Structure 1
Amino acid sequence: MPFLHLGKIFDMRSIATLMILSILFIGCKNEKKTNENQAENKVAEKTIAKNEQSDSLKIEITPISHATAVFKWDNTVFYTDPVGGADAFKGKATPDFVLITDIHGDHMNAETLDALELENAKIFVPKAVQEKLPEDLQGNLVVLNNGETNEYMGFKIKAIPMYNLPQSKDAMHVKGRGNGYILEKNGEKLYISGDTEDIPEMRNLKDIDVALVSMNLPYTMPVDKAADGVLAFKPKKVIPYHYRGKDGLADVEKFKELVNKGNQNIKVELMDWYPGRKK
């Protein structure tokens, strides 16, 4: 009997030991799972924070007319294709730099450049534009041709092609003459298309936050081609501009409808580039 009683004691101790080990094992497993969940949550939080940061790109864009605009990004002001004389920019901040896309009169105007306060501003231009501007502006010019990049005031400025399709020597916009531009700062990108169609160089763009895309027949591309090009490179936001054609204004509402139908994640913002004009 005493030996039997002692055996029972050992059995009870063994059971107790097993129970304690089981509890410790389960506790460790739960702690591991908790740590894994916490790690996953941290990764998710970082991803969300990154997306929120990307979506927070705030560029103030003030349309002047057609292809001409004033941009403010952080504390830097720049103009695109300034034409229309100094009065068109009355009340606007003096630019830190200027981007000119092409030689045509709706993009390049020497009289307007002379009238603006550009003494301390750099003017980024393709070679074809540089050759047509007067001597008194040459000191301000920075020539960028397709594929070239310059860094200025914290911005990476890259010139990319803009041209008509199909390519031909007598096209209104031949490849290599004019520039589209990509501006990048802190990993965020602005694309300004210039006078172009849905060329491969546009369709293959990556990680564009804001895009300005032209659409006006017979000079650039129709609305449906513009929408198709935008759906190919998927910017976070697209703004139609330069949409006055030979027969009036392009249907930017249709452009918005086509883009939204193809990808609801692309925000389409319509701005008034032709004040007082309806068609």
Structure 2
Amino acid sequence: MRANLLFAAFSMVSTILFAQKTDYFTTSNGNTLRIAHIGHGTLMCNFRGKVIHIDPWSRLANYDSLPKADYIFLTHHHGDHLDSVALSKVFTSNTQLYWTKICAEQSKLKLEGRLVANGDTIGTPDFRFIAVPAYNIVNKRPNGNPFHPKGEGNGYIFEFDNLRVYVAGDTENIPEMENFGKIDIAFLPANLPYTMSPEMLKAAVMMLKPKILYPYHTGNTDLKALNDILVDMDVEVRFRDLK
């Protein structure tokens, strides 16, 4: 009994914690989109009563206390994005999983998921999404290979009614961003040497022109310097605990 009470208390604290880290948006159809900022490159959304986990990572949260997934999206196969522990906690027989070919090959879990590649546009019963490129041009490993080669990973543009939300994954300011169309909310990574410097992120913002920007996956980036370089941009910058 005491153990059950302790677990219930922990779950309540966890729920309160994530409520404090959640932003709310209303679509043109009157639906509410909730985005919980779990940390790093990990998000949890709720739309039309459906739970959407993006790159769930067990190092950031106790997934025993979080809702099961109606949808899961993985951007790529690196360990802070493809985490079998977190997946095992939120995946159910009714979960729709979208991931890359390499994710499916490297996953420790044999899950039923749909392979998604750059350029795919897919409609679900609750929203539509587009898989877009996510890769490095400048930042490379000592052997000369990019940290994120072109074609291996996805970013995702979600269309929640009229709201278009871009979750970039691990990428630089790639030229394809120029043609992504209207972006209302953008999650862009800013951590060297793996993704973008503040200058690169500013260049991405200039192409995307989002209304709201969340720098995420920020690592050891100086957030003040990042804010200073964006101060003259026509974008609302929202900093959350997404190191």
Between Structure 1 and Structure 2, the one with more strand by share is 2
Q: Which residue of 2 aligns with 1:201?
A: 176
Q: Which residue of 2 aligns with 1:240?
A: 215
- Gaps (5+ residues) in structure 2? 1-25
Give the residue type in structure 2 aligned to 1:268.
Answer: V
* Alignment deviations for residues 73-120 of structure 1 (CA, whole Å, 9 cap, x no partner): 342220111111695335432221011011110100122212334321
Query: What is the aligned residue count?
Result: 214
Task: List 4+ stretches of structure 1 deviating above 6 A.
Answer: none
- 1:147 is paired with a residue whose SS is coil
Between Structure 1 and Structure 2, the one with more helix by share is 1
TM-superposed CA distance for 1:273, in Å, is 2.1
Q: Which residue of 1 aligns with 2:73?
A: 99
Which stretch has the larger CA shift, 57-66 or 93-102? 57-66
Is residue 39–residue 60 contact of structure 2 (8 Å, CA) maintained in 1?
A: no
Is residue 173–residue 195 contact of structure 1 (8 Å, CA) maintained in 2?
A: yes
CA distance in 2 between counterparts of 1:86 and 1:72 reads 19
Q: Which residue of 1 aligns with 2:236?
A: 267
* Alignment deviations for residues 1-57 of structure 1 (CA, whole Å, 9 cap, x no partner): xxxxxxxxxxxxxxxxxxxxxxxxxxxxxxxxxxxxxxxxxxxxxxxxxxx966x88
Pair 115,92 (structure 1): closer, same or farther in 2 beyond 3 Å: closer
TM-superposed CA distance for 1:257, in Å, is 3.0
CA distance in 1 between counterparts of 2:103 and 2:27 reads 36
TM-score with structure 2 setting the length: 0.80
Q: Highest relative contact order (Cα 8 Å, sep 6+), 1 or 2?
A: 2
Larger Rg: 1
Q: 1:66 aligns with which of 24, 40, 61?
A: 40
Alignment of 1:1-279 (within 5 A): 59-84=33-58, 88-134=62-108, 136-137=110-111, 139=112, 141-166=113-138, 170-244=145-219, 249-263=220-234, 266-274=235-243
- 1:189 is paired with a residue whose SS is strand
TM-score with structure 1 setting the length: 0.70
- 1:179 is paired with a residue whose SS is strand
Pair 255,57 (structure 1): closer, same or farther in 2 beyond 3 Å: farther
Q: Which residue of 1 aligns with 2:22?
A: none
Which stretch has the larger CA shift, 187-196 or 197-206? 197-206
CA distance in 1 between counterparts of 2:239 and 2:139 reads 30
CA distance in 2 between counterparts of 1:191 and 1:201 reads 13
CA distance in 2 between counterparts of 1:146 and 1:183 reads 14
Pair 225,135 (structure 1): closer, same or farther in 2 beyond 3 Å: closer
CA distance in 2 between counterparts of 1:220 and 1:167 reads 7
- 2:68 is paired with a residue whose SS is coil
TM-superposed CA distance for 1:262, in Å, is 2.6
Pair 91,166 (structure 1): closer, same or farther in 2 beyond 3 Å: same
TM-superposed CA distance for 1:147, in Å, is 0.3
CA distance in 1 between counterparts of 2:181 and 2:71 reads 25
